[in-house]
Chain A
Amino acid sequence: MPKVKETEILIVGGGPAGLSAASAAANLGASVLVLERDGKPGGQLIKQTHKFFGSKKQYAGDRGYQIGDLLIEQCGNNPNVEVWTDTTALGIYEDGVVTAEGQAKHLKINPKKIIVATGASEKMIAFPNNDLPGIYGAGAVQTLMNVHGIVPGKRVLMIGAGNIGLIVSYQLMQAGVEIAAIIEAAPTIGGYLVHASKIQRAGVPILTSHTITEAYGDESVAGAIICKLDESWQPVSGSEQDLKVDVICLAVGLSPLTELCFQADCQMKYVSELSGHVPVRNEYLETTRPGLYVAGDVSGVEEASSAMVEGRLAGISAACSLGYGEDIAPKLQAEALAELSELRAGPAGQKTLRGIMNLMDKGGAVC
């Protein structure tokens, strides 16, 4: 009989949300197991070389990878936390058993509570020849450069002027790579202006209301045709431009990675402000499947700062429901909720708040 691993709290995903959840729950006394697909935990933080905004409590001023190291250290110092790296969750079953592949084995884990912190995946757009070598997601480019020290090419077309598109463009420039242009289908730049102006000052054009119509090249990308879009998002004929580039980088948004929530039969709802189908959950991040919590991008795409606070909130709530730290949990939960409100007070946070309101609203397309 294969052994089933018992644990109090299972956390799927060792990114900013998962690691924060792990140390918060462990600090209250719960024993925690974290599953991390990669060889090193930290999630997207390990490749983020930019400094964070926000307040001191959310590590403002520190660079992403430094925050990642800090979270790893916090978990490493806590004997209640066990982290299984190179371990990929594969499914969740009716009896609450979660399966995973790791250590060349099909692992089975039977937790009392589950926190899903699987993050998000990059969106793809369709255009002719989008399968040519040289076309990357922005996350892949960031991994190549900041984790492996490899530049993806010489001249890049960046698609998407949200924060990821802007930050990755700037990091490419720092690595000596030329950015031919950043194009954005929306009429306005989605990311923070502080990032956009740094890039524009260096002479890189950010073309709003522009899209890619095709990539071309024989063996790999040799260039791209871009064009202008009118108010109804239709291509303006005659506005085509030919850009000679060897890399096309897609930063067109993220989708919450919710397969586990769907499998667990959580009630799901499509909320565009949260970037896709997300599980319906209460204030303390528990879904409609009792004992299953969510935190971070899987509960709605946002930033690492809020993912860390959500992780902490879910960790405290899960531990408290097992009887740990019942005296101080309410105070810690209130603190985390206050921090989330503070983080979402800015203009970017308004969208998230609208999304959460839609999510909590009983009406709408629930499935």
Chain B
Amino acid sequence: MGKIKDRLTPIGEFVPQPDDDMIICRCEEITKGEIRQAIHDGMFTLTEIRRFLRAGMGLCQGQTCTRLVKGMIARELGISPLEVEPAAARAPMRPIKMIVLGNEGKES
């Protein structure tokens, strides 16, 4: 999915589905319809979906929905889930309180 050509291949019209209001990312309350629409708007990777919709960016950091979102990208693009590049893993991997970061360096 990294090639420009892949980006230019039409993936068809967005067709609404009856269960589009189903929540996929529980932390950020993102629905199946929103994610499918984003794919049709050109977000073809997990990282793009994360940045565009915040799906997978909440409290659980994508532990619950990443696999489901990956499956949806694959289905909409007509590829295997294995071809969808894994989401980048960055620190902090789990939520951290701002006060902890804010106090950093203050302790002697």
Contacts and interface: CB of A to CB of B under 8 A. Distances in A.
B50 to A, nearest CB: 14
Contacts of A99: 91-92
A110 interface: no
Nearest to A137: B64
B39 to A, nearest CB: 15
B8 interface: no
A316 B46 CA distance: 38
Interface stretch (A23-31, A87-95, A146-154): A87-95
A97 to B, nearest CB: 10
B93 A259 contact: yes
A188 B28 CA distance: 36
A268 B22 CA distance: 32
B55 interface: no
B101 interface: yes
Interface string A117-138: 0000101111111110000000
A351 B107 CA distance: 51
Contact of B100 (A91, A106, A127, A277): A106
Contacts of B13: none
Interface in B16-71: 19, 21-24, 26, 32, 61, 63-65, 67-68
A365 interface: yes
Contacts of A124: 64-65, 67-68
A-B pairs, 8 with minimum CB distance: A91-B91, A262-B89, A90-B92, A259-B89, A121-B63, A124-B64, A131-B23, A263-B89
19 contacts: A2-B104, A89-B94, A90-B93, A101-B92, A101-B94, A104-B99, A105-B107, A121-B63, A121-B64, A124-B64, A124-B65, A126-B22, A126-B32, A127-B22, A130-B22, A259-B89, A260-B93, A262-B89, A277-B86
Interface of B: 19, 21-24, 26, 32, 61, 63-65, 67-68, 82, 85-86, 88-94, 96-97, 99-101, 103-105, 107
Given A259-B89, A263-B89, 14 more contacts: A90-B91, A90-B92, A91-B93, A92-B91, A101-B100, A104-B99, A105-B107, A106-B100, A121-B63, A123-B67, A126-B22, A128-B19, A131-B26, A263-B93
Interface of A: 1-2, 37, 88-93, 99, 101, 104-106, 121, 123-131, 255, 257-260, 262-263, 268, 270, 277, 365, 367
